[in-house]
Amino acid sequence: MHIHILGICGTFMGGIAALAKQSGFKVTGCDANVYPPMSTQLEAQGITLINGYTVEQTKLNPDIYIIGNAVSRGNPLMEVILNQGLPYISGPQWLAENVLQGKWVLAVAGTHGKTTTASMLAWILEYAGLAPGFLIGGVPENFSVSARLPGKPKQDANSISPFFVIEADEYDTAFFDKRSKFVHYHPRTVVLNNLEFDHADIFENLPAIEKQFHHLVRTIPQNGLVITNAEEASLQRVIDQGCWTPVETFGSQDKWHVANAQGDGSFDVMLGSELQGRLEWDIIGSHNQMNALASIAAARHVGVPVEQSIAALNAFKNVKRRMELRGVVNNISVYDDFAHHPTAIATTVAGLRAKVGQARILAVLEPRSNTMKLGIMKAALPESLADADMVFCYGENLGWDIAQAMQPIEGKSQVFMNLEQIVVAIAKAAQPGDTILVMSNGGFGGIHQKILNALA
């Protein structure tokens, strides 16, 4: 069977392409920007890529078109597909029908931490010999791929693992299906990491997102498990709308919680008053401690002993672009992080502060997400950067005045509209012993290497 994917170079759709290819489908695809690293990853798997949405692609005569949510009405290829009555389907629905059907799906949802927590959970199951499949919106360094089908578990090499870990996104499914992606996945185990207002381009307010999360909760069977962050009032409101599944919390003293945390990231894992073990790793930040608790609880639901989960996380290597060290020049470290929401920015900077102590942190920020471009969160940005010593903001292509938004911290912040100028300013300001933290949910023009080159 031949599938043709529109919007194939996004992380999610690229993962679907990889899973389809592994399943034996013939896979081709197109995107507005076919470029590395996704293009090289897909081409290495024998997937033919086409740049742009040319109408001639209908001559490929695929059995079905899979439509990414970046594709909208007016797209020339999509219009031909509609006019000719050709078969099409969304990525999440195709995934549910062709990969997830019959699997024990473990889904990780939330405004923040989905990629990291899903990566932790997939690694725990792998470490335990359960050979899970997974689709994650990043590249876990323990695997070096973002998606794969379930394999053969160590306990029974004649069978295929029933487990599939998926990063469950609340963003809409497609232009013709405005439900959140995660309602298609029908998980048995679900992690609700947190819930804040985001995606202002499709959600009008927080209750609108809570409604979608409740749609997800409605799909969890009675023999499943909902694992939820006890510190989030928004998630409690979701559960209060109706829940037919056992609920287990993390972040509360009577259930899963952290004790004796140290600045290096290590902490005791507690279940009520009972010590479960100590996690000795170098993954910093209180948010990652919560991610770890959620992944341990989810793994326990499928039968992985807690001590085995802790041993697995001691060997966890994190995810690319999550506090990833890109290089050190003249004793100046340059980190890359995906943080782009004020809450994620604050927790990332706070985690780095706990690690470096009194050493200077130079925060470099590109407000690039759709929500940030709309200016919805601009008032929260200064406070989110409070733990940084200097702040460098890149404000090109924003619909609001970033310099004005940063006035509460104007004494330590600078705003630039030119990439080369911001690189020069950062290199000039940096001193031996400093840590430069770059935060963006995009490529940021390759600024990480530009900074390293300038420092050298």
The token pair at 365 is 């920020």
Question: Residue 371's closest CA among 141, 201, 193, 144?
Answer: 201
Question: 387 and 329 in one domain?
Answer: yes
Q: What is the pLDDT of residues 191-237, one digit of tens each?
A: 999 888 776 677 788 899 999 999 999 999 999 999 999 999 999 99
Contacts 24+ apart (CB under 8 A), 256-259: 256/293, 256/294, 256/296, 256/297, 257/293, 258/286, 258/289, 258/290, 258/293
- Please give the structure tokens belonging to residue 286: 């209180």
Judgement on whether residues 196 and 217 belong to the same structural domain of the protein:
yes
CATH of residue 268: 3.40.1190.10
Report the CATH number at residue 339.
3.90.190.20
Low-confidence residues in the chain, pLDDT < 70: 35-37, 199-200, 320, 370-371, 373
Burial class (CB in 10 A: 0-12, 13-18, 19+), 116: buried
Neighbours of 247 (CB within 10 A): 17
CA contacts within 13 A on the Cβ side of 351: 23
At 318 the three-state DSSP class reads coil
- 135 shares its domain with 229: yes
Would you call 407 exposed, middle or buried from its count of C-beta atoms within 10 A (0-12, 13-18, 19+)? exposed
Q: Look at residue 369 in the predicted model and tell me its pLDDT.
A: 72
The two structure tokens encoding residue 364: 């470099």
| Token reading at 88 | 């099409």
At residue 371, the pLDDT reads 67
Inside any domain, residue 96: no
Answer yes or no: is 195 within a domain. yes
Angstrom distance (rounded) from CA 380 to CA 200: 15
The distance between the two most distant Cα atoms of the chain, rounded to a whole number of Å, is 65
229: left (phi over 0), alpha (psi -120 to 50) or beta: beta
77 and 180 within one domain: no
- Residue 393 in any domain: the answer is yes
Residues 135 and 153 grouped into a single domain = yes
Residues 131, 265, single domain; the answer is yes
The per-residue b/e assignment along 336-355, b for 16 or more CB within 10 angstroms, e otherwise, is bbbbbbbbbbbbbbbbbbbb
Domain presence at residue 97: no
For residue 36, the model assigns a pLDDT of: 67
Which of 255, 289, 314 is the endpoint of a domain?
314
Do 124 and 178 lie in one domain? The reply is yes
Q: Do 79 and 117 sit in the same domain of this protein?
A: no
Considering the domain boundaries, does residue 67 fall inside one?
yes
Per-residue confidence (pLDDT) for residue 199, from 0 to 100: 67
Same domain, 274 and 338: no
Dump the DSSP string for 243-294: --S-EEEESSTTSEEEES--TTS-EEEEETTEEEEEE-----SHHHHHHHHH
- Considering 268, 288, 314, which residue would you say is the last residue of a domain? 314
Strands 324-329, 332-337: parallel, antiparallel or unpaired by DSSP? Answer: antiparallel
Q: How far is CA 130 from CA 156, 167, 398, 440, in A?
A: 9, 18, 46, 34
Residue indicated by tokens 């323990």: 142
Q: Are residues 82 and 134 in the same domain?
A: no
Q: 26 and 107, same structural domain?
A: no
Residue 176 belongs to some domain of the structure = yes
* Whether the Cβ atoms of residue 169 and residue 184 lie closer than 8 Å to each other: no
Which residues are CB-contacts of 358 (< 8 A; sequence separation ≥ 6)? none
Give the integer Cα–Cα distance in Å for 66 and 231: 38
Domain boundary among 41, 64, 90: 90
Identify the CA nearest to 387 among candidates 417, 349, 360. 349
- Please tell me the distance from the alpha carbon of residue 331 to that of residue 329, in angstroms, as a whole number: 5
**Domains identified in the chain, total number:** 3
- Asked whether residue 319 is assigned to any structural domain, the reply reads no
Residues β-bridged to residue 164: 105, 133
Q: Domain containing 40 — which CATH number?
A: 3.40.50.720
In terms of domains, do 119 and 217 share one?
A: yes
In a domain, 95, yes or no: no
Q: Using alpha carbons, select from 387, 209, 193, 369 the residue that is nearest to residue 287.
A: 193
Range of the domain at 366: 324-455
